[in-house]
Amino acid sequence: MQQTKFPVCPSLNRSLEGQRIVIIGGTSGFGMATAEAASAEGATVIVASSKKASVARALAELPAGAEGHVLEITQESAVRDFFSTIGEFDHLAVTAGESLDLGEFATVDLEKARRFFEVRFWGAVAAAKYAAKRIKTTGSIILTNGIIGLRPQKGWVIAAGICGALEAVTRPK
């Protein structure tokens, strides 16, 4: 029998009870729903958003013990500092993102497109990079981008490109 070169994975703990989950973009939409669901399953959630008012609103809705932080995910030093202050945790979900006005490609506002890419791509890469130093070995990292890569439509060229770029950067070699 041939020996595998990869160690056997420890059994997965399917319970969120007592786990700490970091959700960047966790103050609205999919991120807030994730924070609420994880809290309901017994996890302590740490939500982060670029907007102070969004963090305050989320903390008012989440159970006691939830943490909230203002974080500008496009600034590498801010992401590094954020992860150096929150301590060890079990899981990271990056759901941060801005809406991109989707329309004719010829009329795309390049400054808005650049900002969209910085949040959805570079922000996610920075978060994964600095999370790796703090996440438990049994933890996970989830980078979301919706279905834009699977169902690109007219005007979604920039957004769909992010899906491919994230896959290329995060795929194991």
| Contacts (Cβ under 8 Å, ≥6 apart) of 156 | 102, 148
Q: Summarize pLDDT for 81-105 with one digit per residue, the tens.
A: 999 999 999 999 998 876 656 666 6
Question: Tell me, what's the pLDDT at 4?
Answer: 47
127/141 Cα distance (integer angstroms): 9
- Name the most confidently modeled range: 8-17, 35-44, 110-119, 146-155: 35-44
128, 134, 138, 141 alpha-carbon torsion, rounded to 10°:
-20
Per-residue pLDDT at 1 exceeds 70 = no
Q: Summarize pLDDT for 19-60 with one digit per residue, the tens.
A: 999 999 999 988 999 999 999 999 999 999 999 999 999 999
Strands (E), the chain: 20-24, 44-49, 67-70, 89-94, 135-143
Longest dimension (CA), the chain: 60
| Contacts (Cβ under 8 Å, ≥6 apart) of 12 | 138
Q: Summarize pLDDT for 71-80 with one digit per residue, the tens.
A: 999 999 999 9
Per-residue pLDDT at 171 exceeds 70 = no
Per-residue pLDDT at 158 exceeds 80 = no
Question: Tell me, what's the pLDDT at 103?
Answer: 64
76/57 Cα distance (integer angstroms): 25
Question: What value does the mean pLDDT of the chain take?
Answer: 81
Per-residue pLDDT at 5 exceeds 90 = no
Domains and CATH numbers, the chain: 20-170 (3.40.50.720)
